[in-house]
Structure 1
Amino acid sequence: MTVSSDIHPRVWPEPRAMLRLIKPITWFPPMWAYLCGVVSSGASPSGQWIFVIVGVILAGPVVCGMSQAANDWCDRHVDAINEPDRPIPSGRIPGRWGLWIALAMSVLSLALGWTLGPWGFGATIVGVLAAWAYSAEPVRMKRSGWWGPGLVGLCYEGLPWFTGAAVLSAGAPSMQIVVIAALYAIGAHGIMTLNDFKALEGDRQMGVNSLPVTLGPERAALVACWVMALPQVVVIILLTLWDKPMHALAIIGVLVAQLWAMRVLLTDPKGRAPWYNGTGVTLYVSGMMIAAFALRGLGAL
């Protein structure tokens, strides 16, 4: 006979639930963006591989994982409605363990960031503060369907890209790198909006004004598509002006494929959002690396 966990509540978190709490599937975008920064810097990684490896680990498992733990702790009441099987509302991570994990990983993030020098450490401070500002009261920027996804897009794509370039070049990245990283960070706002579809009901009940809640699924998906596409058009124009026509042409190709995926998405935004996150987003980040190679060795403006 199995004794109910309600009678004997768990004291220690379940190891598998701890891994799920920091969501390994979310680590890829910031890790990839950091590598885009490394490539775009034009600096040789020879003799600097430790900065590449530490930076990738910091951007993905550590800072991104910490942000996911912090978000799940701060969202535990919403998740009890949307996804009650998640680690915290299900009780597999009991008590205040979710908070302690997020705080411990914040400290680990800062310690690891310190090893990357002043640029890496400064970027880590910004990333940790942004993660808590997104999820925690009284700031809780995720309540806004405009500011919340914008902050996440910045921290998932723009900040790691900037950091990778700054750490490898041991200085401020060129203006071209900053502009391209910022454009892809802006486009990531649309990706984050699509990610909000899965929490639509809980967000509506708990007063989180995501774009799917305030605009409705159809209009929110349309806005997300425009926000993802337009920055890439600007990237294509800039690379052409910077005498990188072949790279611009390659990004046109991935954008055309995204436009096809967007048409599919708009036929059923809520149902197709997970599909698009696996298809369209892969194309989006492929364009990021193409742009990074275009920037490699490009002279400063």
Structure 2
Amino acid sequence: MSALESLTPRSLPEPRAMLRLIKPVTWFPPIWAYLCGSVSAGVPLAAHWPLVLLGMVLAGPIVCGMSQAANDWCDRHVDAVNEPDRPIPSGRIPGRWGLWIALAMTVLSLAVGWLLGPWGFGATIVGVLAAWAYSAEPIRLKRSGWWGPGLVGLSYEGLPWFTGAAVLLQGAPSFQTVMIALLYALGAHGIMTLNDFKALEGDRLHGVRSLPVVLGPEVAAKIACTVMGLAQLLVVSLLAIWGKPWHALAVLALLGGQVLAMRVLFRDPRGKAPWYNGTGVVMYVTGMMIAAFALRGLA
């Protein structure tokens, strides 16, 4: 790029910046949760692979991508402080293009959700509303360190899990499936709290009352880990009660590994939060799939 080009404001978004806007790295949790839900339904996956694949694409690249675009648009002033190199504050997605992309992906989400039948479409509506409620004024639940991470946990883990099971069953999932999905969604509140550590300065400046801002990184890390641990202990207990002791033991062993990782996290919560996302969180989501296979056995 020449010096003249670098000084000329863009009129169209940069293609690579558009991809970064919808953050492919964030697609894994809802994709994984939808797959867990599909497994837990207890129906042959090979016979329903188009619904499984379409649901995973909807949960990840489309709905989650839309939520990321909406969040970046609504957070453009915060990102100008925290991460000025992001697509919108850096100008690589100029003007109101960030908003147009988020709105277009909202329409796409609803169109693809319609293809999954009434249960899939209903869940898509809930997911889209949750995405905008999290980021957009006047609701902007992101401002709360309790409601914001809770909503994201439900949207990223609980709702896709429920949807994956409901779409394949063409009906409401079992009580056991709903309970396990809900517990893992509640536990994800802790994961989302740790994710807030990277935005401390901008959140303070713009009035986002995340738990790291309100309570400090040390206390917030302990709360996050407690929430994750208690949710998984309840999962272990339920699996044991429902006659799945080996699955319960496997989830408990993974929780033990997380406890060891948490001890490292507590030494430097802010610095070690990204490290924990690559260790403890991986064990957390592995336990999700083990629990899904336990539910499949019950089905």
Does TM, scored on the shorter chain, surpass 0.5?
yes
**Structure 1 segment 120-199 matched on structure 2, within 5 A:** 120-199=120-199
Match of 1:2 in 2: 3
Point out where structure 1 has 5 or more consecutive residues left out of the alignment.
none
Alignment partner, residue 114 of structure 1: 114
Distance 1:4 1:61 in 2: 32
Does residue 263 of structure 2 align to residue 263 of structure 1?
Answer: yes
Paired with 2:31 and 2:265, the residues of 1 have a C-alpha distance of: 26
Distance in 1 between residues matched to 2:279 and 2:272, nearest whole Å? 10
How far apart are the structure 2 equivalents of 1:199 and 1:259? 25
Which digits, 9 at most, give the CA deviation of each residue in 1:240-298, with x for residues without a partner?
Answer: 00000000000011000000010000000000001111111100000000000000041
Residue 60 of structure 1 aligns to which amino acid in structure 2?
A: G
CA distance in structure 2 between the aligned counterparts of 1:94 and 1:46, rounded to whole angstroms: 44
Distance 2:280 2:73 in 1: 29
**Partner secondary structure for residue 164 of structure 1:** helix
Cα deviation code 1:104-158 (max 9, x no counterpart): 0000000000000000000000000000000000000000000000000000000
What's 2:51 paired with?
Answer: 51
Deviation at 1:47, TM superposition (A): 2.9
Q: What residue in structure 1 maps to residue 216 of structure 2?
A: 216
Q: Which residue of 1 aligns with 2:279?
A: 279
Query: SS of the counterpart of 2:95?
Result: coil
Aligned residues of 1:41 and 1:297 also touching (Cα < 8 A) = no
Distance in 2 (alpha carbons) for counterparts of 1:228 and 1:30: 17
Cross-structure match for 1:39: 39
Aligned length: 298
Counterpart-to-counterpart distance in 1, 2:266 and 2:104: 41
Residue of structure 1 in register with 2:103 after alignment: 103
Give the match for residue 203 of structure 1.
Answer: 203
Distance 2:172 2:46 in 1: 20
Alignment RMSD: 0.8
| Runs of 4+ displaced beyond 6 Å | none
> Which residue does 2:253 correspond to in 1?
253
Q: 1:231: Cα distance to partner?
A: 0.6
For 1:136 and 1:151, locate their aligned partners in 2 and report how far apart those are by CA, in whole Å.
Answer: 14
Question: How far apart, in 1, do the equivalents of 2:56 and 2:239 lie?
Answer: 26
**Inter-partner Cα distance in structure 1 for 2:294 and 2:258:** 20
Offset at residue 44 of structure 1 (A): 1.1
2:217 maps to a residue whose letter is: P
Instruction: Give TM-score, length-normalised by structure 1.
Output: 0.98
User: Could you tell me how far 1:49 is from its partner in structure 2?
Assistant: 1.1
Question: 1-side partners of 2:54 and 2:19: how far apart?
Answer: 20
